[in-house]
Amino acid sequence: MAIKRILVPIDLSANSLAGLDYAVALAKAVRAEIYVLYVVEPLYYAMSEFAAPAVGELLEEQRRSSRAELTRLEQRYAARKVPLRILQQVGTAHQTVVANAKRLKADLIVMATHGRTGVSHFLLGSVAERVVRAASCPVLTVRPSRTSRRKSVRKRATRSRS
pLDDT for 152: 45
For 31-89, the pLDDT digits (tens) are 999 999 999 987 665 555 555 567 678 888 889 999 999 999 999 999 888 889 999 99
Enclosing domain of residue 72? 5-161
pLDDT of 151 above 60? no
Residue 48 and residue 27: Cα distance in Å, rounded? 48
Mean pLDDT of the chain: 82
CB atoms within 10 A of CB 16: 23
Residue 113 pLDDT more than 60? yes
With 0-12 / 13-18 / 19 or more C-beta atoms within 10 angstroms meaning exposed / middle / buried, residue 105 is exposed
The pLDDT value given to residue 108: 98
What pLDDT does 40 receive? Answer: 92
CA atoms within 13 A on the CB side of 47: 11
Pinpoint the alpha helices (H) of 80-109.
93-104
* Total domain count, the chain: 1
CATH number of the domain within which 154 lies: 3.40.50.620
Q: What is the pTM of this model?
A: 0.79
Q: What is the pLDDT of residue 50?
A: 57
Give yes or no for residue 28 having a pLDDT over 90.
Answer: yes
The residues facing 43 across adjacent strands are none
Q: Which residue would you say has higher pLDDT here, 161 or 35?
A: 35
| pLDDT score of 58 | 82
